[in-house]
């Protein structure tokens, strides 16, 4: 076999330049082996041209989808570390406030008082200075606010509900009141349920009557149709009998 495979392939595919192509044609005149190989390659090429892919369903298109909304950028970016530090400071502040609270229930009712009943306290300001704070005045103001809140809570409820913190209701009375409220609610629910059941029953009866009427009408139509067919069949048979009798008499 001639070692001219690259030239052969170039010639088969028409990619030899004119001078190379001419030279190879001259070679073919003298080389039967290359002529046979050339024809075989051409035949194979003709055969593989029959291989076609199945008709696809494509019609692809690039589309722009909706851009997912980005959350609004927060002005205050708090890193987890700073967030934890802020939370810790808040807890400490609350703990300090709670530690100073004084709560007791006495003859005058529930009393909430901050423990800052010192007449004065000394704070060291951030700038290194010192200042006096009138803690007593702040405590009194806080007491007044708490009493106002208690009064407001006591006056917002309807007459049927009394402030549980009021001292003129005993436990038994509270329990009795709760039982009365439950009974009222149960009665109300029963009335609503009965009304709903009544509605359902009426709807069922109405639909049942309609269905029965439809069935009755259908049966009537069927009977009429069947009766007509029976009459036709009877008439036909009578005609046949008369025809047969006529034939016999002839």
Partner 1 sequence: MPSTDEELVARSMGGDLDSFNQLVLRWERPIYALAYRVIGREEDARDVTQETFLRAFRALKGFKGQAKFSSWLYRITLNLCRDWIRREKRTPVAQAPEGVDIIELAGEGTPTDTIEALVARHELGRAVGKAMSMLPEEQRTAIILKEYHGLTFQEIADLLDCPLSTVKTRLYQGLTVLRKQLRDAGVEGHFGK
Residue 34 binding partner 1, by CB under 8 A: no
Exactly one of 23, 40, 105, 132 binds partner 1 (CB under 8 A); that residue is: 40
| Contact between residue 143 and residue 151 where contact means Cβ atoms under 8 Å apart | no
Contact between residue 48 and residue 39 where contact means Cβ atoms under 8 Å apart: no
Q: What is the rounded CA–CA span in Å between residue 120 and residue 229?
A: 115
Q: What is the DSSP letter of 157?
A: S
Least distance from C-beta 57 to partner 1, angstroms?
Answer: 8
Nearer to partner 1, 56 or 159 (CB): 56
CA quadruple 105, 111, 112, 117: dihedral sign: negative
SS3 at position 47: helix
Distance CA 182, CA 242 (A): 89
Q: Shortest distance, CB of residue 6 to partner 1, whole angstroms? A: 5
Part of the chain binding partner 1 (CB under 8 A), chosen from 54-62, 119-127, 157-165, 240-248: 54-62
Asked if residue 53 binds partner 1 (CB under 8 A), the reply is yes
Q: Given the complex with partner 1, which of 51 and 246 has the nearer CB atom?
A: 51
Q: Does 49 interact with partner 1 (rule: CB under 8 A)? A: yes
Residue placing its CB nearer to partner 1 in the complex, 10 or 169: 10
E strands present in the chain: 101-106, 109-114, 121-124, 130-133
Q: Residue count at the site for partner 1 (CB under 8 A)? A: 32
- When asked if residue 51 is in the footprint of partner 1 (CB under 8 A), the reply is yes
Q: Tokens 């494509």 appear where? A: 58
Task: Give the one residue of 56, 65, 71, 80 binding partner 1; rule: CB under 8 A.
Answer: 56
Q: Residue 233 has which token pair? A: 């069949």
Q: Is 131 in the site for partner 1 (CB under 8 A)?
A: no
Q: By CB under 8 A, name the binding residues for partner 1.
A: 5-6, 8-10, 13, 15, 36, 39-41, 43-54, 56-64
């Amino acid at each position: 076999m001639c070692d001219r495979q690259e030239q052969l392939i170039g010639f088969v595919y028409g990619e030899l330049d004119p001078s190379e192509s001419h030279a190879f044609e001259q070679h073919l005149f003298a080389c039967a082996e290359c002529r046979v190989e050339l024809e075989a390659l051409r035949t194979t090429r003709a055969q593989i041209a029959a291989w076609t892919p199945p008709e696809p369903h494509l019609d692809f298109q690039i589309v722009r989808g909706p851009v997912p909304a980005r959350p609004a950028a927060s002005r205050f970016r708090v890193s987890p570390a700073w967030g934890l530090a802020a939370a810790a400071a808040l807890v400490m502040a609350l703990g300090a406030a709670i530690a100073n609270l004084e709560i007791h229930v006495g003859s005058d009712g529930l009393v909430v008082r901050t423990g800052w009943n010192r007449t004065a306290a000394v704070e060291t300001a951030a700038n290194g200075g010192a200042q006096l704070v009138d803690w007593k005045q702040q405590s009194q103001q806080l007491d007044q606010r708490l009493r106002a809140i208690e009064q407001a809570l006591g006056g917002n409820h309807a007459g049927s509900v009394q402030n549980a913190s009021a001292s003129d209701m005993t436990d038994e009375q509270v329990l009795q009141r709760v039982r009365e409220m439950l009974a009222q609610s149960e009665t109300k629910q029963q009335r609503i349920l009965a009304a709903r059941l009544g509605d359902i029953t009426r709807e069922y009866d109405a639909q049942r009557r309609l269905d029965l009427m439809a069935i009755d009408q259908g049966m009537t139509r069927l009977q009429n149709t069947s009766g007509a067919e029976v009459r036709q069949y009877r008439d036909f048979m009578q005609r046949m009998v008369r025809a047969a009798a006529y034939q016999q008499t002839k």
